[in-house]
Amino acid sequence: MYSPKKIGSTIFLVASLVISASTLGCSSGINGATLAPLAPASGTTPLLVTVSDAPLANLLSASVTLSAVTLSNGTAGSAVSVLANPATIELSSLAGIQEPLELQSIAAATYTSATVTVSAAQVTYLNSSGVVTNGIASIGQPTITVALKPALIVTSSSEVHLDLGFNLATSFDLTGTALTFTPAISTAAAAVNAEAGGDRQLEVVGSVVSISASSIVVQSGDSGKQFTYTIDNATIFPAGIANTAIPVGSIVHLQAQIQADGTLLALSITPQSAASASNQPGDSNGGGDGLIVSVTSTGGLVTGFTMVPREHFDGSTAATLTVTLSPSTVYAADQDALALGLTTAQFTNAELFPGQSVSVTGSNTNGTVAATQVMLSAESLSGTLAAAPAGTSSNFTFGLALPPGSYLTTYDALTSLNVVTETTTSYDHQLTAAAFATLPAATAVEVHGYLLQTAPGMFTLYASNVGKTQAAETPEAPEGGS
């Protein structure tokens, strides 16, 4: 018997409590269409739906389709839908971060429970023999209702953040060849202005729909949804690149933060592709973001690799991509990695290895991508603290003990991983740097960051985000049940 364990994923519902549409400054898209900023009807307030995740050790990719999300205040007939259309989301790359999913209007009230309906789940994982395996799960219980603890109080006085956390440690089960997904969820709610910065962080990789000096619209390569992000003087771009020089249609990695007025502020924007001016399909925006599962080398030089894409950049749905490398392929690191102290020189052809997360752009021909650029990408890992964190202030080092069956154990014989944090590392689930320093050994944590092979057989994860893994709650009995 093989059972995927040790994974949680979260869906964040953020009530953006604003007085007028002009103060909201963000838009959402459905099926590729950009919507105007949501103007709340009388007596209602906008609700922003985002997604995040904590990963499963042997999971390479996981896509779950949500067909409905509703909130209830306990009054008969009071359930409010907060998901306009079914949405498919990839969860395994989102530990400690959130990706915006939907913007809805919701009436002021105290909401005491949430009901989530899942219609499909598909995973790519390493089986007990270490073979990359694709599976479509049957849905054990499509609809689940959980109490909101604390209740979500929507008023006009403050921003509210609701976290619905899918705990996939108890959601996925594989016995023999039967793969089943039964959603298990934890909840939390807090005022946005009372949250740590890490609890309000957003991250998305996708294509540029439009860009100006003051804003950028990005369509997620994951969900296909579009949102507008404000650009200000503090938004970081790579050296020598102006925001207005980023072509429409190019792929970017964007980090943002939910602001107190309901806007989404871009913290950093990194072009992932050296897109041509035309940006026609196949010219340089093929590829995707995901994990390397095998490499091909000649004379010590990596000439290509196979990857499992978690996000596609060109509409492809292939479970794997074959990537070919040439002497002209560019290797790069994004702004988040540079903020952690990494340099572009640290990521080269020599540092490519199975288990590493990368973003690849180039020409895609029948599932083979001729890479113009390979960028080091953040990946999500879960485990337990091998010992209490060492170090002072925000500069910690710690060992992350990996669960049995981890893809890093299979590929790189790792049972634990050295992790370092920097002053730019954020903490979520109400965790702070000071509180993290006091955590004892064996605490379950999730880490999002950049994995490098610093020497042959020596690996370090540079953490951009650290959080405590949240436990699932007992679902409420269905109406008429016991």
Instruction: Say how far apart CA 292 and CA 379 lie, in whole Å.
Output: 11
Extract the tokens encoding 21.
Answer: 């549409």
- Rg of the chain over all Cα atoms, to the nearest angstrom: 21
Task: Output the pTM of the full model.
Answer: 0.83
Instruction: Return the SS3 of 157.
Output: coil
pLDDT of residue 46: 52
Cis peptide before 150 (omega within 30 of 0): yes
pLDDT in tens, the chain (482 residues): 333 333 344 444 544 332 222 222 233 333 333 333 334 445 555 555 556 555 567 888 888 898 998 888 876 667 888 888 888 888 777 766 778 877 776 778 888 888 989 999 998 888 888 889 888 999 999 999 988 877 888 776 666 667 777 776 677 887 767 888 888 777 766 666 767 676 778 888 888 999 999 999 998 877 788 899 999 999 999 887 888 789 998 889 999 988 877 678 999 999 887 543 333 333 457 899 999 999 999 998 999 999 999 988 887 888 899 999 999 999 999 888 999 999 989 999 999 999 999 999 999 998 999 999 999 999 988 899 999 999 987 899 999 999 888 899 999 999 999 999 999 998 877 788 999 999 999 999 989 999 999 888 899 999 999 988 877 777 876 554 44
Q: Which residues contact 477 (CB under 8 A, 6 or more apart)?
A: none
pLDDT of residue 280: 39
Beta carbons of 342 and 270 less than 8 angstroms apart: no
Instruction: Return the SS3 of 192.
Output: helix
Pairing of the two strands 321-324 and 301-312: antiparallel
pLDDT of residue 328: 95
Instruction: Say how far apart CA 310 and CA 287 lie, in whole Å.
Output: 11
Extract the tokens encoding 121.
Answer: 């789940």
Q: Which residue ranges form the domains of the chain, and what is each CATH number?
A: 8-195 (no CATH), 200-271 (2.40.50.320), 286-376 (2.40.50.140), 379-468 (2.40.50.140)
Sign of CA dihedral 197, 200, 204, 207: negative
Cβ atoms < 10 Å from Cβ of 288: 25
**E-strand spans in 167-214?**
172-175, 178-181, 185-191, 201-211
